[in-house]
């Protein structure tokens, strides 16, 4: 039997509210066994960018990363948010070690080729250095990833945090029984975004394809769900989406959306 590892992604609204973040970190710190945390950026980069006169350019929900924006997100993601999370986990006796993809060459990426859109300094993951990641966990450290990668030539790159979580999960799947938990500010995938009780308990790929075509699933959820199915198709055992208090404290049962092939 393979050892288990839990990979937890937290993002957006969870990071913006300090009391909410503290509660999430407390639950994460108590998760048994090997674990990895991946965090998004929240709204801090956008508000800081506004104060500095750096406009937030988006294309289909993805940030276009100019040189000024890259500097901004490296500061906020790898600096402020990553270290606040690490210090918060350390206060919970969790041996957190904050990293970007450049550290220990953990995530090598390539700048996204320009096609119809130039995303700027955005990186697509090429390889997760699983030996280094494993070695850090062997020593008892809990890796905390921000969504910054590098190209191995000295260039930092901005990478989607959901994708980073999925790629780490896939890289670990060869030697671990991997659970991937996407925590966000809703109860799960919903049939009706206006009805909090319309959570889909179990979402298989066929229903996903059908519902996404029919426009039932909210557009912002599509890249996240693509990452979920990509992970499952590449050896990850279990993928769930939902509120952190539901996913981190209730084990196998509990609420949220279980994504299955």
Binding residues for a second copy, rule: CB under 8 A, are 51-52, 71, 74-80, 82-84, 86-88, 90-91, 95-100, 102-105, 132, 135-136, 139, 141, 148, 150, 152-156
Judged by CB, which is closer to a second copy: 95, or 249? 95
Judged by CB, which is closer to a second copy: 94, or 199? 94
Judged by CB, which is closer to a second copy: 109, or 180? 109
Judged by CB, which is closer to a second copy: 78, or 169? 78
Q: How far is the CB of 67 from a second copy (least distance, A)?
A: 12
Q: How far is the CB of 137 from a second copy (least distance, A)?
A: 12
Q: How far is the CB of 157 from a second copy (least distance, A)?
A: 9
Question: What is the chain written as a DSSP string?
Answer: -PPEEEEEEE-THHHHSHHHHHHHHHHHHH--SEEEEEE--TTHHHHHHHHHT---EEETTEEEB-HHHHHHHIIIIIIIIHHHHHHHHHTTT--EEEE-TTGGG-EEEEEPPPSSS--BSBEEEEEE-HHHHHHHHHTT-EEEE-SEEE-SSS-EEE--HHHHHHHHHHHHTTTSEEEEEEE-SSSS-BSSTT-TT-B-SEEEHHHHHHHHHHT-S-GGGHHHHHHHHHHHHTT--EEEEE-HHHHTTSTTSSSSEEEE-
Q: How many Å from the N-terminal Cα to the C-terminal Cα in the chain? A: 22
Q: How far is the CB of 27 from a second copy (least distance, A)?
A: 15
Q: How far is the CB of 200 from a second copy (least distance, A)?
A: 36
Judged by CB, which is closer to a second copy: 36, or 86? 86
Q: How far is the CB of 39 from a second copy (least distance, A)?
A: 13
Judged by CB, which is closer to a second copy: 102, or 189? 102
């Amino acid at each position: 039997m393979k050892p288990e590892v839990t990979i937890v992604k937290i993002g957006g609204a969870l990071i913006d509210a300090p009391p909410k973040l503290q509660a999430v970190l407390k639950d994460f710190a108590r998760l048994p066994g090997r674990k990895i945390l991946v965090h998004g950026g929240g709204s801090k980069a956008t508000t800081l960018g506004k104060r500095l006169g750096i406009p937030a350019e988006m294309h289909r929900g993805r940030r276009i990363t100019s040189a000024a924006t890259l500097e901004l997100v490296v500061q906020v993601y790898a600096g402020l948010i990553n270290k606040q999370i690490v210090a918060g986990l350390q206060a919970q006796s969790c041996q957190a070690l904050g990293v970007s993809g450049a550290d220990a060459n953990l995530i090598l990426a390539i700048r996204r080729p320009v096609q119809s859109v130039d995303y700027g300094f955005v990186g697509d993951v090429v390889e997760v250095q699983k030996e280094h990641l494993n070695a850090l966990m062997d020593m008892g450290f809990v890796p905390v990833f921000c969504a910054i990668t590098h190209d191995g030539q000295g260039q930092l790159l901005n990478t989607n945090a959901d994708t980073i979580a999925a790629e780490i999960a896939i890289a670990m799947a060869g030697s671990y029984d991997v659970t991937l938990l996407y925590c966000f500010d809703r109860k799960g995938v919903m049939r009706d975004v206006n009805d909090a009780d319309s959570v889909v308990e179990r979402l298989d790929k066929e229903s996903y394809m059908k519902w996404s075509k029919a426009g039932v699933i909210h557009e912002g959820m599509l890249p996240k769900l693509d990452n979920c199915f990509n992970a499952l198709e590449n050896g990850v055992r279990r993928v769930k989406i939902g509120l952190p208090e539901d996913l981190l404290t209730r084990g196998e049962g509990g609420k949220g959306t279980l994504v299955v092939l």
